[in-house]
Amino acid sequence: MHMIHKRKFRFAAALLVICVAAAPPARKRVVFFDDFSGKTLDRSKWNVEVSGMHVNNELQGYVDSNATIYLENNALVLRPLYSPGYVSKDGQHFDFVSGRINTRGKFDFKYGTAEARIRLSDGQGLWPAWWMLGNGAWPATGEVDIMEYVGEKDWASAAVHGPGYSGDKGPVAKAYFDKGNDVTQWHIYAVDWTPDSLIFKYDGRKMFGISKTYISPMGKWAFDNNKYLILNFAVGGVYPAKVNGIKTPYYGLSASTLEEIKKQQARMWVDWVKVTQD
């Protein structure tokens, strides 16, 4: 009797292996995609932000201009410019203008994979980013920073922010690139978002992960609501200054990078943006 049970067990196990091996791989559905192949930015997908709220002691005002946001060679380009005397709609003065776009009110999602293929200029104090926000108040509805670069070309960072873990309290991690393959080269920056975790991947390799269990002692999990997409190019501010310690000629911005911006050489190129869901 013992031998009969043993044989049945082996057969059942073998049958289970066959069924699992024969199952098709999970398919992902594309719910948002833009490869910037048109002549101008697709405004059915993207909003262009104009400054009215200013944060992080950044040096730029955002404008709706084809000088700071344009398409070139089937890629989106965001470009900061030196523009002394610019006055924002709320009366604040800036020496720089730049570009920021988002999908708020046009596309948002909950759970899936958000990824973008991006190449950056190098320069101390440049602060381009690829990220997501919730539709409500910050930080209660969460922030997911998929890629931030602040002027050290051998690394980029990812972070999350929510109630009780925002600003400097937000979990953050750096990913260092191989020599000769720094941020000035093309990379795919992505996050896999599930109900219980955020897994950040650069070029398909995990660089950082946050779970609901890890966050729970800090505050409420802020990643169970819809998020919209953001691409922007900031200049200077608290994050670059914290890294480089520069105070002059501008807060967080080096003299050499100032010249780079004056020569209109600073760029963020975005080949494509894609969001998929299971």
Is it the case that residue 18 has pLDDT exceeding 80? no
Beta strands in 103-186 (DSSP E): 112-120, 126-134, 143-148, 155-161, 172-176
Residues 46-90: pLDDT tens digits?
A: 999 998 778 899 999 999 999 999 999 999 999 999 999 999 988
Q: Which residues sit opposite 205 in a β-bridge? A: 202
> Mean pLDDT in the chain?
92
- Domain boundaries defined on the chain: 27-277
pTM: 0.90
- Alpha-carbon distances of 13 from 5, 8, 24, 186, 254, rounded to whole Å: 12, 9, 20, 46, 64
Burial of 144 (0-12, 13-18, 19+ CB in 10 A): buried
Between CA 42 and CA 146 the distance in angstroms is 22
pLDDT at 20 over 60: no
Q: Where residue 2 falls among pLDDT bands split at 50, 70, 90? A: very low
- Which stretch of 2-6, 132-136, 137-141, 271-275 has the lowest confidence by average pLDDT? 2-6
pLDDT above 80: residue 7: no
Does residue 11 have a pLDDT over 60?
Answer: no
Secondary structure element (H or E) that encloses residue 212, with its range: helix 212-215
Judge: domain 27-277, CATH 2.60.120.200.
yes
pLDDT in tens, 165-180: 999 899 999 999 999 9
Does residue 4 register a pLDDT over 50? no
Mean pLDDT value of segment 220-248: 97
